[in-house]
Each structure stands twice: as structure tokens, then as C-alpha cells.
Amino acid sequence: MHIVYKADNLFDAHLVKHALEDAGIPAFVFGESLLGGMGELPLFGVLRVAVPEAARPEAEAIVAGLDLGPAPGDPISDTDDLAGQPA
């Protein structure tokens, strides 16, 4: 299995999954059952959409064509420490 998309939310993960399935590519959403595991706290980086390795090139092209915005990054970055400081 190859991860073709890392989602910030369940809506985007299923949007990608259904777009891939509409193209005939089997897709799986991993991490869906973990969303409630942290209670009220948001849990980042657990939603991933995967496809079989043989479908990777076609799946990556479909995901790129969806225009879902930038891929989610690390929710905590080094630039967070610079907030409020002059550039």
C-alpha cells in the first residue's frame, strides 16, 4: 500500500477516496477510527488515504488534480516561536 494523501479532516480524506474509486482505483482511509481517541483534543496526522502500489502513478495524478490546497504539514512548526516578533 502507498499513501497518496494525508488529510487534515475526514471530509477531505473521503473526498479523495471517492475520487480514486470513481476512477476504478481501490482506496482505503487509515486512521479514521482514531479520531475520537483523544476526546476533545484534535488529533493530527492520523488520516491517510492509501492505494495499492500498482495504482500509485494514476492515483497521485488524480489527487493532484483535486486542488485540495497544500498538503497538511506538522501542526507545530519552528515558525510558531516567532509569532508576534518583527521579521
Distance between CA atoms of residues 44 and 37, nearest Å: 12
Predicted confidence (pLDDT) per residue in 13-54, tens digit:
999 999 999 999 999 999 887 766 555 555 566 789 999 999
Q: Is residue 63 part of a domain?
A: yes
Position 24 in a domain: yes
Residue 8 located in a structural domain: yes
CA distance 41 to 44: 10
Residue 83 domain-assigned? no
- How many structural domains comprise the chain? 1
Q: CA 41, CA 35: separation in Å to the nearest integer?
A: 9
Please indicate, yes or no, if residue 64 is contained in any of the structural domains: yes
Domain that holds residue 57: 2-69
Give domain status of residue 84, yes or no.
no
CATH of the domain at 19: 3.30.70
Contact in structure between 55 and 24 (CB atoms under 8 Å):
no
pLDDT 10s digits, 52-68? 999 999 999 999 999 88
First vs last Cα of the chain: how many Å apart?
43
Would you say residue 31 lies in a domain? yes
Asked whether 72 and 6 are in contact (CB, 8 A), the reply is yes
- Supply the pLDDT for residue 68: 81
